[in-house]
């Protein structure tokens, strides 16, 4: 009898454990029943925002990346400062740079009207990133859903975890490896710079002082980013098709026209040169690899189950 009771209890514990593991996993069908219009609401809002300002597509993609690389995909980047913590918005990689918060606010408001307390801010970021790429002519991928939102944020972690635009290849590889990414995934995710813009402060040293840069390209950039002043002046990361998600970013690297030092490091006589060449001539391979890498990034330490919360307002804890 004791043995039977033990086995019954043991079986229950195993079943409970397995259920917990399964229920804690992300799923592409997570909102099919609880909020069946969730994905269409997000897509409509993203399409509208990108139609009004094509640069917004790059901004929403970047929001997801800057969220996930700091303590996982938990929407911590959206939190405003409070009396108990200083958030990530004023971190060096984010201040005067990360944008798109109003678009996320709009999406959240629409979702709260359609199905209150169901869709997390972290999931909104993940889906909006995918829909932004598609809106700019890029690839699609199946977004896994079921993340929950953090109740805190960290300025220090944002400053320490987000790769700087001044890093050499070895430091870039290490920064991505710390998050579980391979060198190949570093290259493909960097391809997100085929859209968007950068501030003068992030590329001034490259265009004025580096030698592995196309001279005409550097000259054209200097008028917009002088040796002093104009810190917030913007330049396209991909100077050819900055509002279209394509593989031209990699073609630019072959000609030493990478705007950021960190970007040109991907093609600078190192171990990632061959992959840059491949993507520069094969957009289908780039698109496929990018989608897979984005799925992996979206799985960085998500809060699931009963962890965290579902914020009603993405900017503050409930």
Mean pLDDT lowest for which of 22-31, 114-123, 233-242?
22-31
251 annotated ligand binder: no
pLDDT band at 24 (very low <50, low <70, confident <90, very high): low
Percentage of the residues of the chain whose pLDDT score is greater than 90: 91
- DSSP run (H or E) holding 287: helix 283-298
5 pLDDT exceeds 60? no
pLDDT of res. 25: 86
254-304 per-position pLDDT tens digit: 999 999 999 999 999 999 999 999 999 999 999 999 999 999 999 999 999
194 annotated ligand binder: yes
At 180, list the tokens. Answer: 């579980």
pLDDT of res. 14: 39
pLDDT of res. 239: 87
pLDDT of res. 187: 98
> Under a CB-based contact definition with an 8 Å cutoff, are residues 126 and 73 in contact?
yes
pLDDT band at 7 (very low <50, low <70, confident <90, very high): very low
34-66 per-position pLDDT tens digit: 999 999 999 999 999 999 999 999 999 999 999
Rounded average pLDDT over 235-264: 97
pLDDT of res. 17: 37
pLDDT of res. 10: 37
238 annotated ligand binder: yes
Give dist(CA 278, CA 280) in Å, integer: 5
Classify the C-alpha dihedral 210-170-246-57 as positive or negative: negative
93 annotated ligand binder: no
Percentage of the residues of the chain whose pLDDT score is greater than 70: 92
Identify which of 276, 67, 91 has the alpha carbon closest to the alpha carbon of residue 190.
276
2 pLDDT exceeds 80? no
205 annotated ligand binder: no
What structural domains and CATH numbers belong to the chain?
Answer: 38-162 (1.10.520.10), 169-296 (1.10.420.10)
18 pLDDT exceeds 90? no
128-179 per-position pLDDT tens digit: 999 999 999 999 999 999 999 999 999 999 999 999 999 999 999 999 999 9
What string of DSSP letters covers 179-224? TT--HHHHHHHHGGGGS-EEEHHHHHHHHHH-SSS-HHHHHHHHTT
């Amino acid at each position: 009898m004791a043995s039977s009771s033990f086995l019954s209890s043991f079986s229950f514990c195993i079943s409970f454990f397995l259920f917990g593991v399964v229920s804690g996993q992300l799923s592409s069908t997570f909102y099919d029943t609880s909020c069946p219009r969730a994905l269409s609401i997000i897509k409509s809002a993203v399409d509208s925002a990108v139609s009004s300002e094509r640069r917004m597509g790059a901004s929403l993609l970047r929001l997801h990346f800057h969220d996930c690389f700091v303590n996982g995909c938990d929407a911590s980047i959206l939190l405003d400062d409070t009396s108990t913590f200083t958030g990530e918005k004023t971190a060096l990689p984010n201040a005067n740079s990360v944008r798109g918060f109003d678009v996320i606010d709009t999406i959240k408001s629409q979702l709260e009207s359609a199905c209150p307390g169901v869709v997390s801010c972290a999931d909104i970021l993940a889906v909006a990133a995918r829909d932004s790429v598609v809106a700019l002519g890029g690839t699609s991928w199946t977004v896994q859903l079921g993340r929950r939102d953090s109740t805190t944020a960290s300025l220090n972690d944002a400053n320490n975890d987000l790769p700087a635009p001044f890093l050499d290849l070895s430091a870039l590889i290490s920064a991505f490896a710390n998050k579980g990414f391979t060198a190949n995934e570093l290259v493909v995710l960097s391809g997100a710079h085929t859209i968007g813009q950068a501030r003068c402060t992030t590329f001034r040293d490259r265009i004025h002082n580096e030698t592995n840069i196309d001279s005409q390209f550097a000259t054209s950039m200097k008028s917009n980013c002088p040796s002093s002043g104009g810190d917030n002046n913007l330049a396209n990361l991909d100077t050819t098709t900055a509002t279209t998600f394509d593989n031209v970013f990699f073609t630019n690297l072959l000609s030493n026209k990478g705007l950021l030092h960190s970007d040109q490091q991907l093609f600078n006589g190192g171990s990632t040169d061959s992959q840059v060449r491949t993507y520069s001539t094969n957009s289908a391979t780039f698109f496929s690899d990018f989608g897979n890498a984005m799925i992996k990034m979206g799985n960085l330490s998500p809060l699931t189950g009963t962890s965290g919360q579902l914020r009603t307002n993405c900017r503050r804890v409930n």
